[in-house]
Structure 1
Amino acid sequence: MTNFPHCGLLFLCALSFCANAAEPGFIKDASATLQARNYYFSRDFSGIVGANQQSKAEEWGQGFIFNFKSGYTPGPLGVGVDAIGLLGLKLDSSPDRTGTGLLPVQDDGRAADEYSRVGATLKMRYSKTELKVGELQTNLPILQYNDSRLLPPTYQGVSLTSAEITGLTLQAGHLSSTSLRNEAGDEKMIAMLGHLPQRQADSDAFNYAGGDYSFNANRTTASLWYGRLEDIYQQGFVGLKHSQPLGDWTLGANLGYFTAREQGDARLGDVDNRAFYSLLSAKRGGHTFSVGYQAIYGDDAFPRVFPNISPLGNEVPTYEFSYTDERSWQVRYDYDFVAMGIPGLTATVRYLKGNNVDTGLGFEGKEHERDLDLGYAVQSGLLRGLGIRLRNAMARSNYRSDIDENRVILSYTWTLL
């Protein structure tokens, strides 16, 4: 499965531009990396809820991610090009174990042997304002980047970023399609409510605008955003982050509030959601202790563009804790082993519990999850650029399928330029 439509045409134009743009800034400030990512993913299901009675999702894949970023041509209006190349290879799969999100599933129920994509972005910069057209990887509160599988997702569209005022970053954009994390082609966008994809309605436009303002020596950031999945839902967000040194400690706060309702033709019907989250932390040396509280209000679960994550404080990769009327709590502990003289080694353990879920089935939904994460990145020597991540999760619920999950991710990044 290979994609080379209009993005490929833009890529060819970009290469032609590069050939004629041998300017010092364009070449001197360019960078290129190639990452090899080996990903094993396993989920065992029990107490299965829903039409899909598959008891296990387990696959293994090898991915390659090439990223090229040019500098800018000299002059008041600088022009540059970014390019991305993605290749995913199947190492192990079976029709009774698909659905991990690592590999495309074909019409016969089998995972594709390979899938690939090439895309390019034309960028223009004037002063501290930048316009991008083409392949985009947005990372916004109302459309947060989700690189949690073999290959990263991308969007196709236009984005504008301006940082002309010190501390203030403004952004706006229009996205017309997406390339999912396990697909090669362009797709229309659909919504997800809580943990359920809404495949009965799609959209070919996501518009956004907003900004972040950092002050207080960059220890405090206030955010205000608006996003709209055309004819499905619109969403607003206000957020506040603060970091405060206090002796040997650093205290942190991350607060946010979302509102959402239907938009345009309302292809999913009425949407009524409000969500509040808080995540408070205390860091000393290599230790970071965190507690979080999250509350979902309204008649519907939290909406987002599928399969993106959100900045909700209690959203984790297995359960989202964002279903209708859900209240959830989190305790988390992180340790950075650099404090013990082992740079690059990190560990995380967290426990989350949710209740008060309106299941629509006449009983209160409850769920909990425990996660263990261990990561190591080689810091020097011949293996510098090699990283390994191990993840084990146990999630239990009385209204959705229970999950036991394991992930093993090996990655190696070559710096080419």
Structure 2
Amino acid sequence: MFEAMEHYTLLAIPFFVLSSAFLSTGGVARRLIRFAIACVGHMRGGLAIASVFACMLFAALSGSSPATVVAIGSIVIAGMLQVGYTKEFAAGVVCNAGTLGILIPPSIVMVVYAAATDVSVGRMFMAGVIPGLLAGVMLMIGIYIAARIKNLPAQPFAGAGEIWDSGKDAFWGLLLIVIILGGIYGGVFTPTEAAAVAAVYAFFVALFVYRDMGPLKEKRWRHDGEGLIVAILRNISLTLIYFVPGMFHRDTKHTLVEAGKVTLMLMFIIANALLFAHVLTTERIPQMITETIIAAGMSWWMFLIVVNLLLLAGGQFMEPSGLLLIVAPIVFPIAIELGIDPIHLGIIMVVNMEIGMITPPVGLNLFVTSSITKMSLIEVVRAATPWMLILFVFLILITYIAPISTFLPNLMFGPEIVN
């Protein structure tokens, strides 16, 4: 089991979890929501559309679906109820939009797939960009159509000034997207190193820039009548003085403990799944299944139907990382034999994991949404089901239109070469 966990790529997971924890508690989500509402809140159903937009932005920071639902949903659902949305509509939208957390890079599930199949994490991240944007746009279109039918409210246009102000306020959070993806594709650091940088950056922004937690909580950047130079020097000195104490502050300790709980759960599931996958490989189970399917003359499109059905069924009962680690080593060699791009296969599997996050009885997003809204699990399932149909249509598009997934990675790096 320990040997199975000695995979350098998997080291990115605890760092992304820690980064997500600081971003969730450090006020980043609130600023992203304000920016999203300023941009699209004036449309019919604009607050719901803004919640999807905010989920897309936070997904590009966190890599986790439940974290996205908690960070965005805990703020935006209450706001939607205040302006006339039903609780079911608000819960269904956020529950589904939160699944983008594992599709839009960086993504913990993509890291797990890369570790299981030895494909490039950077390619997987790049492959998730277009599908992530497409899924978000499809949900937005669905919301807009429903809003027109139900005559849902639209917010007054906030104006270009509010878009600029909210964008400036969210700048430090949005900058992390540039740091992670720009650093990886600029060759500055590996995806695992990017995760570590993201964790340190999120800690710094939460405690010393936004100051929504830690020793400088609620301390103003600039006092009335204070000169700009004096304010800059004062804040630099405060940062230097409180940097080390901030590492041991009770808010930091609480965030570290919560991130540690999530990491332990994920890594325990991954370790056991890797152990099972090792047994399958040792007994040559994937090779035997590959030979059987090839001998039976199964076509690539039929094989992908089988993969989707298998993952959709498994996603009802298993956590995404564990399911992926068990299934990927089995279907990967078959896909290669049938000429399916491994990156395309990876995105198909991630989208299936998305749907699994909102499928009873163990869909994590369902439980998180239930906790936020105080709705029963059955009520959340009913609320999420209509929007889940959009994700099923999206899954069909991703499955049979490979360039949606492969265009960007092939454009930047050329075709994936599998040894």
Question: TM-score, normalised to structure 1's length?
Answer: 0.25
Larger fraction in helix? 2
Higher RCO (CA-CA < 8 Å; seq separation 6+): 2
